[in-house]
Structures are given as C-alpha cells and as structure tokens.
C-alpha cells in the first residue's frame, strides 16, 4: 500500500533533473554541435572558396559594360574629325562599300545612335548577314576600330590603349538602331 500511495501522489511520474556532474568532453554539454572547431585546413578551404567567389563576382561584373564606357568616355565628340564606315557581306571583299563622314552633324548622329548601348562580353563565334567596320579618327589620327555584326555583336579596338582591355568582343544586350549606319549606304 505504501507503493500505491506513492503512485497516487505522482512522485514517480515527475521527471527529476539529471545530476549536474560531468558535462562531457572538455566541459561541453552533451548536445549536438552546430559549429565544428576551425582547423588550419578548414580555414584554408574557407579562404580558397572566398577567393574563388570574389574572383567570379569580379569577372561577372567586368563582363558587363557599355559603349559609353568603352568609347564615348575616352574621347570628346568635338575631337572626332572623321568616321570611315565600310560595309561588307560575310567572306566577300568585292561587295565592300566605303563612306567617309566628315560633317560634324553626321558624326554626332552616328555617335548618338551608340549612346546607351549596353554590352556583355562574348567571345563565341556567330553568324551574321552584314558587317560594318567603323574607323573613328580623332584629331586626324586613327583611334578606334569598331565592327558591328547585324546589330547583335560588336568588337571595339582602342589604338591608344596598350593593355588587355584595348580590344573587346561583346554582345549587344539592348536595342541598337543599325540604320544610323545603314542609311549611309543607299
């Protein structure tokens, strides 16, 4: 009966706290670990992954540019003395036509058509139906060579730069009105 009396009181049903003795290895409680100890190997791995992530982020950010950043910001519109435009079909030199523009209003119209053109690095080969080669002369000196393929791809070469960014191939990511150049060839 004494046992029955204890059950009626509910003493056996109550949970008793565990003794506060040893807490496990190195004084830590026995609970799942979320963070593991940072060893030199893990620190090195984290550093390598961080360097790779930063490099990829910089590569992606540098692959987006604009015509303004590559050309217009490096020269003044007043300095352009002439623009030479050559048009051709793929792999045919006999169908080439050339026009030289020296009128400042025409030069401004051609350059303004490129304003706001967004570019993304692209080194993939592509097919095109018509190509325009544009030579920009600044103070009567050759400065830029620009090749536009079907208003989709553009290659820009800056003769004044002597680094790896002097030439770049890009895909045009927004609208470019190719008729600003095409109208020169009736």
Residue 90 and residue 129: Cα distance in Å, rounded?
Answer: 6
H-only helix segments in the chain: 2-9, 40-63, 67-70, 104-114, 179-182
d(C-alpha 14, C-alpha 145), whole Å: 87
Amino acid 61: pLDDT: 63
pLDDT computed for residue 23 by the predictor: 53
Burial 43-78 (b: 16+ CB within 10 A, else e): eeeeeeeeeeeeeeeeeeeeeebbbeebbbeebeee
Tell me, what's the pLDDT at 149? 87
- Give the per-residue pLDDT at 1: 47
The residues of the chain scoring below 50 in pLDDT are: 1, 5
Q: Computed from CA positions of residues 157, 159, 161, 162, in that sequence, does the dihedral angle turn out positive or negative? A: positive
Q: Which of 77, 175, 92, 171 is nearest to 131 (CA)?
A: 92
């Amino acid at each position: 009966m004494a046992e029955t009396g204890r059950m009626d009181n509910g003493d056996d049903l109550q949970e008793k706290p565990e003794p506060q003795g040893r807490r496990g290895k190195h004084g830590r409680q026995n609970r799942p670990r979320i963070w593991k100890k940072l060893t030199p190997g893990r620190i090195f791995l984290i550093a390598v992954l961080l360097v790779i992530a930063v490099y990829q982020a910089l590569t992606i950010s540098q692959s987006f540019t604009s015509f303004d950043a590559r050309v217009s910001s490096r020269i003044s519109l007043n300095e352009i003395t002439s623009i030479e435009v050559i048009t051709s079909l793929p792999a045919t030199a006999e169908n080439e036509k050339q026009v030289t523009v020296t009128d400042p209003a025409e030069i401004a119209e051609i350059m303004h058509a490129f304003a706001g053109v967004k570019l993304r690095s692209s080194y993939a080969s592509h097919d095109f139906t018509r190509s325009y080669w544009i030579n920009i002369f600044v103070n009567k000196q050759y400065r830029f060579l620009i090749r536009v393929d079907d208003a989709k791809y553009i290659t820009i070469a800056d003769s004044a730069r002597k680094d790896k960014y002097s030439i770049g191939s890009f895909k045009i990511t927004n609208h470019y009105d190719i008729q600003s150049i095409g109208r020169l060839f009736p």
